[in-house]
Amino acid sequence: MLGRDLMGILHSSFSRDEVIGWDIEEVDIQKEDESVTKIEKLRPEIVIHIAAYTDVDGCELNKGKAFAVNAEGTRHVALAASKCRAKMVYLSTDYVFDGEKKEPYLEGDPPHPLNVYGDSKLEGEQYVQEWVKDSLIIRTQWLYGPFGKNFVDSILRQTREKSALSIVNDQIGSPTYTADLARAISGLIRFEARGIFHVANSDFCTWYTFAEAILELSGIRRVKVLPISSKELDRPAVRPSYSVLNCQKLKKETGLTMRSWSEALKDYLSTYRQPLS
């Protein structure tokens, strides 16, 4: 999902020949030799690593795959980047935090993941820090965009069959548009930023409030949104009840600001999704 938006942004800011995008067909990051050999052969200046096993509940049920892709896979990419003396950019997640803080998380706050996905991504962060001298770790959250399965499209799809949707109202975060995140990643690279940065659209909401906004902005009035608790939904992976990211470091060090999630959502819906009713 993020990869295709990022390729578009990078192609428009750098020359087409300078930016090469690979998916699992080109390199399976679970395979150490393949990853290292292929990346080393290319001799890139920057390796942007966003491949991951992103199914949060799937990770809970398949811990082996979660660590093989998100932790070991990242180690392989980091090893390749260090052999090429390349800068490495790694995408990580708000799910490295446990949500106990109840105010926006800073980059330096101690991580404490509640689920396997968060655990495996945190191990990925540690490998990047251990192996690569010049690294940039970007933690983001609640992504949606035109090129992948996401919450916004899932809500819109469900309105075609249902008259009421039950949505979790006890998890707070910031929905983030992949196009905005891609622009920020490109900006951070241009600013030669290093270390950990939090990047998400500004303001926050619950999944329930987000769903209500999606319906309202799409002009759908016949479908009701009903608030439920995470306990009622009973998903395999526990999610933090609060994982808002403080993005002040991004602004302070690069001057870049992120627009609010509601503005970004309006833009996404008007660009990619026609009002359904």
Ligand X SMILES: NC(=O)c1ccc[n+]([C@@H]2O[C@H](COP(=O)([O-])OP(=O)(O)OC[C@H]3O[C@@H](n4cnc5c(N)ncnc54)[C@H](OP(=O)(O)O)[C@@H]3O)[C@@H](O)[C@H]2O)c1
Is 186 a binding residue for ligand X by CB under 6 A? The answer is: no
Nearest-10 crossing angle of helices 261-272, 207-217: 40
Taking the complex as a whole, how short is the minimal distance between the CB of residue 232 and ligand X, in angstroms?
Answer: 22
Is 117 designated active site?
Answer: yes
The count of residues interacting with ligand X (CB under 6 A) is 23
Selected range binding ligand X among 24-32, 76-84, 189-197, 202-210, rule: CB under 6 A: 24-32
Q: Mention every residue, 6+ apart, whose C-beta is less than 8 A from residue 27.
A: 34, 35, 38, 39
Taking the complex as a whole, how short is the minimal distance between the CB of residue 1 and ligand X, in angstroms?
Answer: 3
Phi and psi of 35, rounded to 5°? -65, -50
Query: Quick one: DSSP state of residue 195?
Result: E
Q: Mention every residue, 6+ apart, whose C-beta is less than 8 A from residue 274.
A: none
Among 9, 19, 47, 51, binds ligand X (CB under 6 A): 51
Residue type, 115: N
Is 23 a binding residue for ligand X by CB under 6 A? The answer is: yes
Is 39 a binding residue for ligand X by CB under 6 A? The answer is: no
Selected range binding ligand X among 22-30, 37-45, 160-168, 257-265, rule: CB under 6 A: 22-30
Is 73 a binding residue for ligand X by CB under 6 A? The answer is: yes
User: Rounded to whole angstroms, how far apart are CA atoms 92 and 121?
Assistant: 6
Give the footprint of ligand X on residues 123-162 (CB under 6 A): 140-143, 148
69/122 with CB nearer ligand X: 69
Taking the complex as a whole, how short is the minimal distance between the CB of residue 59 and ligand X, in angstroms?
Answer: 10
Is 20 a binding residue for ligand X by CB under 6 A? The answer is: no
Q: Mention every residue, 6+ apart, whose C-beta is less than 8 A from residue 156.
A: 214, 218, 220, 273, 276
Which residue matches tokens 């990346």? Answer: 39
Among 20, 24, 226, 276, binds ligand X (CB under 6 A): 24
**Encoded tokens for 150:** 């996401």
Is 28 a binding residue for ligand X by CB under 6 A? The answer is: yes
Q: Where are the beta strands (DSSP E) in the chain?
A: 46-49, 87-93, 135-140, 143-144, 164-168, 172-173, 176-177, 195-198, 205-206, 224-228
Which residue matches tokens 């191990």? Answer: 123
121/249 with CB nearer ligand X: 121
Is 120 a binding residue for ligand X by CB under 6 A? The answer is: no
Q: Which of 105, 117, 127, 177 is catalytic?
A: 117
Among 11, 21, 30, 267, binds ligand X (CB under 6 A): 30
* Dihedral of alpha carbons 6, 11, 12, 15, sign: positive
Neighbouring C-beta atoms of residue 170, cutoff 10 Å: 17
Taking the complex as a whole, how short is the minimal distance between the CB of residue 3 and ligand X, in angstroms?
Answer: 6
29/223 with CB nearer ligand X: 29
Interface residue list for ligand X (CB under 6 A) = 1-3, 23-24, 28-30, 50-54, 69, 73, 91, 93, 121, 140-143, 148
**Which residues are catalytic, by number?**
117
